[in-house]
Structure 1
Amino acid sequence: MATLPQYDAAPSRPLSRGDIKVLSLSALGGALEFYDFIIFVYFATVIGALFFPPEMPEWLRMVQTYGIFAAGYLARPLGGIIMAHFGDLLGRKRMFTLSIFLMSVPTLLIGCLPTYETIGYAAPLLLVLMRILQGAAVGGEVPGAWVFVTEHVSRKDVGLACGTLASGLVAGILIGSIISAFFKSYYSAEEISAYGWRVPFLIGGVFGFIAVYLRRYLEETPVFAEMRAKKALSQGLPVKRVLSSHLDSVVLSMGVTWILTGAVVVVLLLTPSLLKSLYAIDASYANVWAIVCTVFGSIAAGWCADRLGSGVTLILWSLLLGGAYWVMMHTVPEDPSQLLWSYCLAGFGVGIVGVVPTIAVKSFPAVVRFSGLSFSYNVAYAIFGGFTPVVVSTLMISHPAAPAYYIAALALLGVLIGLFLLWAPGGRRLAVMPS
Structure 2
Amino acid sequence: MKNETSPVAATIGKNRSGSNGGSASLPDTEATPNTPTSIPAVSKDTRRRVITASFIGNFVEWFDYAVYGYLAGTISTVFFPSSDRQTALLATFGVFAVSFFVRPLGGFIWGHIGDRLGRKQALSLSIVLMSVATFCIALIPGYGTIGVMAPVLLLLVRVVQGFSASGEYAGASAFLVEYAPAHRRGLYAAVVPASTAAGLLLGSLLAALLSSVLTAEQLNEWGWRLPFLLAAPMGLIGRYIRTKLEDTPAFRELAAKETTVKAPAFAMFRTYRRQLVIATGAVLLNAVGFYVILSYMPTYLSEELHFGAAESFLATTIALVSYIGFIFLTGIASDTFGRKRMLLTASILFIALTVPAFMLLDTGNFMVIVLVQIVLGGMLTLNDGTLPSFLAELFPTAVRYSGFAVSFNLSNALFGGTAPFMATLLIGLTHNQLAPGWYLVAASVVSLIAVLFAVETSKKPLQQD
TM range (shorter): 0.7 to 0.9
**Residues 73-82 or 63-72, more deviating:** 63-72
Equivalent position of 2:265 in the other structure:
239
Residues 111, 138 of structure 1: alpha-carbon distance in 2 compared, 3 angstrom cutoff? same
Question: Deviation digits for residues 297-319 of structure 1, max 9, x if unmatched?
Answer: 22111111111111122233334
Deviation at 1:205, TM superposition (A): 2.4
Counterpart residue type for residue 342 of structure 1: V
Question: Deviation digits for residues 125-156 of structure 1, max 9, x if unmatched?
Answer: 32222111111100111111111111111221
Q: Give the alignment partner of residue 290 of structure 2, picking from 253, 261, 264.
A: 264
**Structure-2 separation of matches of 1:109 and 1:335:** 37
8 Å CA contact 2:129–2:160 kept in 1: the answer is yes
Q: Give the alignment partner of residue 345 of structure 2, picking from 306, 313, 316.
A: 316
**Structure-2 separation of matches of 1:332 and 1:69:** 25
Equivalent position of 2:22 in the other structure:
none
Equivalent position of 2:129 in the other structure:
102
SS at match of 2:190: helix
Aligned pairs (5 A) from 1:34-433 = 34-52=62-80, 57-235=84-262, 237-276=263-302, 279-280=305-306, 283-333=312-362, 336=365, 338-351=368-381, 352-389=383-420, 391-392=422-423, 397=430, 400-421=433-454, 427-428=455-456, 430=457, 432=459
Deviation at 1:247, TM superposition (A): 0.7
CA RMSD in angstroms comes to 2.9
Counterpart residue type for residue 358 of structure 1: S
Question: Deviation digits for residues 248-293 of structure 1, max 9, x if unmatched?
Answer: 1111110111011122122233344445566555654332222222
Counterpart residue type for residue 229 of structure 1: A
Residues 180, 128 of structure 1: alpha-carbon distance in 2 compared, 3 angstrom cutoff? same
Deviation at 1:59, TM superposition (A): 4.6
Counterpart residue type for residue 294 of structure 2: L
8 Å CA contact 2:282–2:451 kept in 1: the answer is no
8 Å CA contact 1:33–1:103 kept in 2: the answer is yes
SS at match of 2:347: helix
Residues 415, 49 of structure 1: alpha-carbon distance in 2 compared, 3 angstrom cutoff? closer
Residues 171, 323 of structure 1: alpha-carbon distance in 2 compared, 3 angstrom cutoff? farther
8 Å CA contact 2:319–2:374 kept in 1: the answer is yes
Equivalent position of 1:3 in the other structure:
none
Aligned length, in residue pairs: 419
TM-score by length of 1: 0.86
Structure 2: gaps spanning 5 or more residues: 1-29, 34-40
8 Å CA contact 1:286–1:344 kept in 2: the answer is no
SS at match of 2:179: coil
**Structure-2 separation of matches of 1:279 and 1:74:** 29
1:33 equivalent in alignment to 2:23: no
Question: Deviation digits for residues 217-273 of structure 1, max 9, x if unmatched?
Answer: 2221111111111110013x2111211211111111101110111221222333444
**Structure-1 separation of matches of 2:99 and 2:176:** 25
8 Å CA contact 1:159–1:303 kept in 2: the answer is yes
**Structure-2 separation of matches of 1:408 and 1:44:** 24
Deviation at 1:330, TM superposition (A): 3.9
**Structure-1 separation of matches of 2:421 and 2:80:** 24
8 Å CA contact 2:197–2:320 kept in 1: the answer is yes
**Structure-2 separation of matches of 1:275 and 1:153:** 39
Deviation at 1:400, TM superposition (A): 4.5
Residues 59, 325 of structure 1: alpha-carbon distance in 2 compared, 3 angstrom cutoff? closer
Deviation at 1:17, TM superposition (A): 2.6
Equivalent position of 1:5 in the other structure:
none
Residues 159, 174 of structure 1: alpha-carbon distance in 2 compared, 3 angstrom cutoff? same
**Structure-2 separation of matches of 1:294 and 1:434:** 29
Structure 1: gaps spanning 5 or more residues: 1-8, 422-426
Residues 60, 316 of structure 1: alpha-carbon distance in 2 compared, 3 angstrom cutoff? closer
8 Å CA contact 1:309–1:433 kept in 2: the answer is no
Counterpart residue type for residue 284 of structure 2: W
**Structure-2 separation of matches of 1:356 and 1:187:** 39
Question: Deviation digits for residues 137-190 of structure 1, max 9, x if unmatched?
Answer: 001111111111111112212111221211111211111111011112122223
Aligned pairs (5 A) from 1:13-24 = 16-24=44-52
Identity of aligned residues (%): 30
